[in-house]
Structure 1
Amino acid sequence: MNPSDADPKLDIIFVPARTDTPVGSIVLLHGWGANHDDLGDLVPYFNLPEYQFLFPNGIFDHEYSDEGKMWYSFTGAGELTDLSRAQLATSREVLREWVQSLPDSTGIPLDRTWIAGFSQGGAMTLEIGLDLPVAGLIVMSGYLHQDRPKPESVAPPVEIVPGTKDDVVPIVAARSSRDKLTEWGIEVRYQEFEMGHSIVPEVLDVIRAFVTK
């Protein structure tokens, strides 16, 4: 089965490994208003040729962009409304079921599958990944939902990579997420960069080291 066809609810870009026997899978979740093409251009720069990449599209159309997608909507103040909470619940269910189905479609077990996300995609990474037996979670300029409950089982290790000059997701959100995850007993690796709401080459180096540790 082509991993792109694993769930009809998700529009997925699948980038195969450049080897016959992939070492692992990396799922990348885009941010609010972007789409699965947004992070796809980064594949060569990850320098992980033995890994296959999967880029799911957000399941909701963005309110202000014809091509943009989102996992849930925001208000102007960034708070969750009843609508956005319902959308979050739907995205959480769809993404979780899809990730759990990946071993059947890719041949790669969950313990060799990483979930990564940028901005809202980073929030969704924590939302679904803390309860899954995956290899690790990577949060780029993202955050932990404030009402996200503590995982009931042992959570995978988390790499958080925020920007100190981020004017979209402030650095305090990343530090708060780090502190809460650490309080829950989760292994957290944390490294700040002097950058805005973006992904600089040094971030990709950190991710590569985390995945290939």
Structure 2
Amino acid sequence: MSLEFISVPRTTSQTPAGLVVCLHGWGANAQDLASFSGELDLDNYQFFFPDAPFPHPNVPGGKMWYDLERQDFQQLADSRQRLGNFLNSLAEKTSVPLSRTFLSGFSQGGAMTLDVGLTLPLAGLISLSGYLHAEPQASTDGYPPILMMHGQQDQVVPLSAAQRAQMVLSELGATVDYHEFNIGHWIVPEQLTLMRRFIQLHS
């Protein structure tokens, strides 16, 4: 039930100031976002890049959190449980609590970030080109702060999906920092700058 992952520790032996977990998109794998650990310039954080648990049917070496070509999202419940267990295990393994752990993801990974992250006492959630699987449950305990970024020219995950997610989350009382960029379904350096500032602000 565990997830395989890439870990990039901080450069000193001291306990990290926090953890950053990055979830890849449909058909990619843990290597896809691993460069974030250097590009974000957060030397006092430890990074984790988990592989989604299921092999992609058409991409050799690619992984998926669930099959987007099936209407029932059959594997979502399994991935949801595995990701939650993984995050809780990191807290035990690193001695860094969830309250100092940031969960981020791109595309399908962004959807998983919002899906699982809204149910945990994390430091913050970062969704890049993500979307909501369904309307989240109302919570009396509140939600982690959220950074959402999306391309206005995205042909894979429509901009309207991000705009709807921002509206739904804001109406539930979540604090959402929302940004649009004149790009397609990819990540640009300006987004990493916002990501770094968000992590520093909520640390």
TM-score range, shorter-chain basis?
Answer: over 0.9
User: Is 1:34 the counterpart of 2:28 in the alignment?
Assistant: yes
Is the Cα–Cα contact under 8 Å of residues 131 and 152 in structure 1 kept in the other structure?
no
For residue 148 of structure 1, report the CA deviation from its aligned partner.
4.0
Trace 1:102-117 onto structure 2 (pairs within 5 A). 102-117=90-105
User: Is 1:17 the counterpart of 2:5 in the alignment?
Assistant: no
The percent identity for this pair of structures is 46
For residue 58 of structure 1, report the CA deviation from its aligned partner.
0.6
For residue 96 of structure 1, report the CA deviation from its aligned partner.
0.5
Trace 1:113-152 onto structure 2 (pairs within 5 A). 113-151=101-139
Distance 1:70 1:151, change over 3 A: farther
Is the Cα–Cα contact under 8 Å of residues 122 and 143 in structure 1 kept in the other structure?
yes
Superposition TM-score, scaled by structure 2 size:
0.94
**What are the superposed Cα offsets for residues 92-126 of structure 1, whole Å, 9 maximum, x if unpaired?**
00100111121110111111100000000000001
* Cα distance in 1 for residues equivalent to 2:139 and 2:4: 28
Distance 1:152 1:56, change over 3 A: farther
SS at match of 1:95: helix
Q: How many residues align?
A: 200
Alignment correspondent of 2:47:
53
For residue 19 of structure 1, report the CA deviation from its aligned partner.
2.9
Distance 1:122 1:151, change over 3 A: farther
SS at match of 2:75: helix
SS at match of 2:43: coil
Return the letter of the residue paired with 2:42: L
Is the Cα–Cα contact under 8 Å of residues 2 and 85 in structure 2 kept in the other structure?
no
Trace 1:1-213 onto structure 2 (pairs within 5 A). 9-21=2-14, 22-75=16-69, 80-82=70-72, 84=73, 86-151=74-139, 153-213=141-201
Gaps of 5+ in 2: none
* Cα distance in 1 for residues equivalent to 2:12 and 2:171: 40
* Cα distance in 1 for residues equivalent to 2:137 and 2:64: 22
* Cα distance in 2 for residues equivalent to 1:151 and 1:124: 18
* Cα distance in 2 for residues equivalent to 1:170 and 1:19: 41
* Cα distance in 2 for residues equivalent to 1:55 and 1:25: 11
**What are the superposed Cα offsets for residues 126-157 of structure 1, whole Å, 9 maximum, x if unpaired?**
11000100100000010111354334531101
For residue 18 of structure 1, report the CA deviation from its aligned partner.
1.8
Is the Cα–Cα contact under 8 Å of residues 131 and 153 in structure 1 kept in the other structure?
no
Gaps of 5+ in 1: 1-7
* Cα distance in 1 for residues equivalent to 2:77 and 2:28: 20
